[in-house]
Structure 1
Amino acid sequence: MPWPVSEQVTEQWINNAIVIVVTVLVALLVRGLLARAIRRITGMMIKDASGKRLRATEILRRAADMSDERYAARANTTASLLRNILDIVLVVIVVMTVMNVLGVPMAPLLASASIGGVAIGFGAQSLVKDYLSGIFMVSEDQFGVGDWIQINDKISGRVEEVGLRVTRLRAFSGVVWYVRNGDITQLGNSSQGTSTAIIDIPIAVGADPAPAIEIMKQVLTEMAGQEEWQQVLIAEPQVLGVDSMNAVQTKLRAIADTLANQQWGFQREALSRIRTALHVAGIEDPAVPTAADQAGA
């Protein structure tokens, strides 16, 4: 004798509920396992990078100190992005499975979604471009919070926030810029790796450059031996000698490799000390051109 319709419907709903609950539990289990795997892989990457840094030479270790935090931040950001993608994929799969269990026709829904997706895609091309650009910039570590960057040869400033759609940076004047990631076609980063302090010293064109060069070497060697600057320099400063000449002055140049964005302090201190030492040694400053000289030029 066939079961009453009400009993069949009740049994069908119970079976559907069981399938839905099992689907959700399996999705949660898969998410937990994959999220744990992502965390473990991220931790191994950070630990491996730290171990490599400790085995490097002292100079390379000092140069890489700032990049360790950057590497960890990039790894964590990438892990967060992967978890978000994982959540979206699992939610879509669970929703489609539940709708299929409940008997919702999938073919018309998928067709409508495809047509709607194409329409939305044409209307949101710039938004998709922004997000894709943001994903690549984060994964490739093109820049990070605290970096000093220049965008499209127009905007420069220190990065305050890196998002998947918009990057926020503050210019030296204090102006805050919000730049869509999809609009970034050229990017210069002065905070990655190392920086170079350029020390240019002008002396009178008739002065002998040899004593001035010797004084520059002495001052820079003394600075390189001080603990304050040993934490900044990653190589011994080099005095290159005469860089250029004109009718008024001879320009001497020295360079020093420093940690990223640390060149300005060393450069200012070196200029001050060398200028004082040259004055004490009696080495002439360049003559200031008069208005008549400038008019004649």
Structure 2
Amino acid sequence: MPEKLKTVQRVMSGHPVVSAALWHVPSAQGEAYARDRWFVPEDLAECEGFTHGRRIEEWLAARIALKTLLVEDGLAESPLHIHIRKNGQGSPHVVVYNPETGAYARLPCSLSHKGPLVLAAYSRLPGIRVGIDLERRSWKLPYLRRRFISEHDKMLEKDDQVGDCTALWAFKEAVSKLLGAGMAYGFANIHCRETSLGTCELRDAGGNHYAGAYGWFGRYALALVTDVYHGADADKEKAKRRERPWYERIVRARRLRDIRRLRRVSDQLAAVKAKNSGNGTSAERPKARRKP
């Protein structure tokens, strides 16, 4: 493969869930990539229809960066055991084959490229989705702010309008990638609030919340968005629930159902009493009249 001018491994290395790498790849011919070393024929089916040489290079470089990251993390022995697929919505995920057990692991991933840079990331937890984006600073973005910025967006840096607009665009495109919606998703419906420098809280049109982080590499903004992660305590609780015997889970589910039912009846009785007291009537049942 072509020699990388600069590789920044472990971009945002402090992230608790995601591993990411940023590559600076020089312009080269697509034939310079040793495809047989990195891909099986099925992996290359998506790029067979590409006609632009630079588009092919970006496609190959982003996937090679992701495969390199997974091999270095010890999740696979060979790049040929790693396959990047898309679901029905177009969101990519990585499938890692373990030749010793014959099992497959499926992890969320995201890819982005802009100019000479490619960014690849994957989530170490199958239940936490990830979306990333690269965006170059552009003076055009402030003039397009009405198309993608809402009144709920808030960035801490007030003196750099171009930088704020660039970071916001990158965040919102990262959310659309996480959702698998692409550019069709209305960016103005995604709200972004920077809580501390480089960290943001995001919310989509459906009220779902996401966690975001961003940084700068020269004139490029790097945005990373994931589902909200509650830390190691949540993982321990999930593991504890999975370890319970099946009969204990059934008994626990029935107990919770009975508690909810009693709570619902109690709420209904309280509502009836409140209604009767408001009307000045008694909740007691009227006595039947005695026959003469």
Q: Same fold (TM over 0.5)?
A: no
Higher relative contact order (CA 8 A, sep 6+): 1
TM-score scaled by length of structure 2: 0.27
Higher helix share: 1
Higher strand share: 2
TM-score scaled by length of structure 1: 0.26
Q: Which structure has the greater CA radius of gyration? A: 1
